[in-house]
Amino acid sequence: PEGDALKEVLLYHVIAGKYTGAELVEKHTVKTQQGGDITVQMKDGKVILNDAVTVTVANIEATNGIIHVINHVLIPPTH
């Protein structure tokens, strides 16, 4: 995507705050900076987002938060 569509996709990958993988699982649903929700659950020992995307590396400390690497791009729901 380009322009506003790219901005929507990128903001859908960011949430406000600093959460470990375990804290995200406890929340079950998180609100993104794009405005949509992402569901977070544990399945077979893995953190799964929106029933389809797997967290492959969790809890990478950064100066402005925590990074969780995923195996696919999250696509925001259409309004």
pLDDT tens, residue by residue, 26-64: 999 999 999 999 999 999 999 999 999 999 999 999 999
Half-sphere exposure of 51 (CA within 13 A, CB side): 0
Distance CA 73, CA 25 (A): 19
pTM for this one?
0.90
Split at pLDDT 50, 70, 90, the class of 77 is confident
Percent over 90 (pLDDT), the chain: 91
